[in-house]
Amino acid sequence: MSEELHAVRLRVNGTSYDVRVPARRLLSDALRHDLGLTGTHVGCEHGVCGACTVLLDGTPVRSCLMFAVSAIDAEITTVEGLTNDDGSLGPVQQAFKECHGLQCGFCTPGFLTTVTAGLAANPDPSREEAREIVAGNLCRCTGYQNIVAAVQRAAALRQAQGPAEGVAP
């Protein structure tokens, strides 16, 4: 018996996408497989690692814990949406690059979205606050020191650049 499909309009990084998905389609799978936005990574698939984090109306969520049909009224921001309007690296991306905040990069999309939301809430975090911002995300490679440095560097770049950073409000 074929599975019932639901017509869903997802708004991602300022673009609307019409897809037909089963009710059980995870948002992470819809982004990657239905929309082709493979920047969102899937690690643990049960809400622990944070690799799949996207922003829903600016709030970080685990897209592996959410159904796509639950996201129809939200503005979704994935890592692809964190660039500046001219396509150059946004401040959080640039900071991770400058500070060597990634090695294999698998966890990085989730860190970038998480840090983007964290800096929107706290634009000038102390080192301890920077650690708190990324405390829910797991990285197997970097030992976190460079990631924490990148959070503070991103804060500086963001302040120099002004409030607009390619993230939909």
Residues at the site binding ligand FES, with contacts judged by CB under 6 A: 42-45, 47-52, 62, 64, 102-108, 139-142
- Could you give the 3-state DSSP secondary structure of residue 12? strand
Q: Which is nearer to ligand FES, 34 or 45 (CB)?
A: 45
Extract the tokens encoding 43.
Answer: 């690690």
The sheet carrying 59-62 orders its strands as 15-22, 5-12, 75-77, 53-56, 59-62
Q: Which is nearer to ligand FES, 39 or 50 (CB)?
A: 50
Q: Which is nearer to ligand FES, 144 or 161 (CB)?
A: 144
- Could you give the 3-state DSSP secondary structure of residue 46? coil
Quote the least distance from Cβ 67 to ligand FES, whole Å. 13
Quote the least distance from Cβ 160 to ligand FES, whole Å. 26
User: 136 CB contacts (<8 Å, ≥6 apart)?
Assistant: 50, 114
Quote the least distance from Cβ 113 to ligand FES, whole Å. 12
Quote the least distance from Cβ 162 to ligand FES, whole Å. 29
Q: Rounded CA gap, 16 and 162, in Å?
A: 27
Q: Which is nearer to ligand FES, 96 or 162 (CB)?
A: 96
- What does the DSSP assignment read for 123-158? SS--HHHHHHHTTT---SSS-SHHHHHHHHHHHHHH
Quote the least distance from Cβ 33 to ligand FES, whole Å. 14
Q: Rounded CA gap, 58 and 163, in Å?
A: 14
Q: Which is nearer to ligand FES, 142 or 152 (CB)?
A: 142
